[in-house]
Amino acid sequence: KIQKIEAIEILDSRGNPTVEVNLKLEDGTTSRAMVPSGASTGEREAVEIRDGDPKRYGGKGVLKAVGNVNSTIAKAIENKHFNSQKEIDYFLMELDGTDNKSNIGANAILGVSMAFARAKATSSSIPLYQYLGGGNAHIMPVPCMNVINGGKHADNTIDFQEFMIAPHNASSFTEAIRMGEEVFHALKVVLKSKGFSTGVGDEGGFAPDLKSNEQAVEMILEGIHKAGYKAGNDVSICIDPASSEMWENGSYKFFKSSQKLVSSDDMVKLWESWVKQYPIVLLEDGLAENDWEGWKNLTEVLGSKVELVGDDIFCTNKRILQEAINKEVANSILIKLNQIGTVTETLETIELAYKNAYNCFVSHRSGETIDTFISDLTVGINAGHLKTGSGCRGERVEKFNQLMRIENELGKSAQFAGLKAFKNAL
Ligand code: PGA
Ligand code: ZN
């Protein structure tokens, strides 16, 4: 039985307000959950309610969402018993009554959903990853670390949003993190020696004013080499250009490095040449959310070579994923809890993905908190890989720290995913 639920307005990693939910069960168990927030959001994401009051936080306050937890939701769920995660999440969805949670707010609902999951796990004396994924949870993920930031996440000259390193040739997650950090620090030296800035962007990656998008990959390759690793063999590369942000009247606009316009076909050719040239194992949002034709083409050209992840195009939504499965678009889906708004719907989307041999790539948001829910989710569903920032910034490394704790706790049963985590990499 839920005894008490209370939300407050706290801050995320960008200094913007977000929702924190504190929950107490009748047996005395307490839990806390904090909700993240994106910058390059998909159009079909569940609705994050912001106050829009220009006098507070430039309109970004979340007092309405907080109020919805403390009034509507509290009134409906306090002193009520829920047998399962599914039961409470479906109850919350009905209470909201809309398709996209625009009534109560996905930020309000998700906070409650996550806090309930955490409290139930604690009260049943099982780790959260087991509560979410069952007893078979044991695969430790490859950390895809976003070491160069561009796009909407940094004020620099790079159009593409994320350049990630994937240290896959490791014996454990903990060792993979060490490799990733060594490359991250070597990259800093490389950038500095060439006179580039080593200040970081929203997700903790460097945000230098490079001459081109290609140069970002080349800097990373130098960093990998400098750290004593072999690109491709030990550490590979993942890219998320977040190309919905570049989509303009049916083509792609390079809005930072140049002002050139590129057709969908030419974007596919660009990715084809990048995959030939560089040790890329994963490409997320290579095309825009409204370019389904292009996505079909991209999947035909590269779908058997690399992991093609849909983020903005799928929004962790099982109905949209089903459409993609029918149309043979992509081979992997990005998993962000706040795109859909409850733990149960997230797990349902994951189940549908696995049933259809799609991979699941678990993700943080660019506006994060120190909540480590996604670390447990990643192990819970044996996702094999996640992205949660670069090698610095507390809200990012705390996810890695939680994964190292989980690996330690799993002991001998922990198994590092390695290169096979990536679709078609072997
Ligand atoms: P967002 O970016 O959290 O700003 O949406 C992350 C991503 O595009 O993967
Ligand atoms: Zn993305």
pLDDT digits (tens, 9 = 90+) for 181-204: 999 999 999 999 999 999 999 999
* Segment 28-49, tens digit of pLDDT: 999 999 999 999 999 999 999 9
Check if the beta carbon of residue 47 is closer than 8 Å to that of residue 102: yes
Nearest ligand (C-alpha, residue 387): 1
How far apart CA 35 and CA 39 sit, in angstroms, is: 14
Distance 311 CA to ligand 1 centre (A): 8
DSSP states of 276-314: HHS-EEEEESSS-TT-HHHHHHHHHHHTTTSEEEESTTT
The minimum-distance atom of ligand 1 relative to the CA of 387 is 9
The Cβ-side half-sphere exposure at 324, using a 13 Å CA radius, reads 33
pLDDT at 6: 98
Check if the beta carbon of residue 93 is closer than 8 Å to that of residue 105: no
* Segment 280-314, tens digit of pLDDT: 999 999 999 999 999 999 999 999 999 999 999 99
Candidate of 145, 149, 285, 336 to mutate for ligand 1, largest count of ligand atoms within 8 Å of Cβ:
336
Helix axes 394-410, 173-193, angle to 10 degrees: 150
* Segment 379-394, tens digit of pLDDT: 999 999 999 999 999 9
How far apart CA 196 and CA 222 sit, in angstroms, is: 14
Structure tokens at 120: 């139930």
ipTM: 0.99
How far apart CA 390 and CA 374 sit, in angstroms, is: 15
pLDDT at 330: 98
Ligand 1, residues at Cβ distance < 6 Å: 38-41, 161, 240, 242, 311, 363, 365-366
pLDDT at 285: 98
Check if the beta carbon of residue 363 is closer than 8 Å to that of residue 386: yes
Nearest ligand (C-alpha, residue 16): 1
Distance 224 CA to ligand 2 centre (A): 23
The minimum-distance atom of ligand 1 relative to the CA of 36 is 3
pLDDT at 381: 98
Nearest ligand (C-alpha, residue 365): 1
* Segment 210-266, tens digit of pLDDT: 999 999 999 999 999 999 999 999 999 999 999 999 999 999 999 999 889 999 999
**In the structure, what pLDDT confidence band is assigned to residue 360 with cuts at 50, 70 and 90?**
very high
CB atoms within 10 A of CB 110: 32
Structure tokens at 259: 């002002």
For the annotated catalytic residues, the residue numbers are 203, 336
Residues 6+ apart with CB under 8 A from 180: 143, 145, 165, 167, 235, 391
* Segment 109-140, tens digit of pLDDT: 999 999 999 999 999 999 999 999 999 999 99
* Segment 60-77, tens digit of pLDDT: 999 999 999 999 999 999
Best CA proximity match to 387, nearest among 253, 214, 121, 203: 203
Question: Across the chain, what does the average pLDDT equal?
Answer: 98
pLDDT at 296: 98
Percent of the chain with pLDDT over 90: 99
pLDDT at 394: 98
Q: Tell me the three state secondary structure of residue 387.
A: strand
Q: Mean pLDDT throughout 82-100?
A: 98
How far apart CA 113 and CA 101 sit, in angstroms, is: 13
Burial of 356 (0-12, 13-18, 19+ CB in 10 A): middle
What is the Cα 83 distance to its own chain's centre?
A: 29
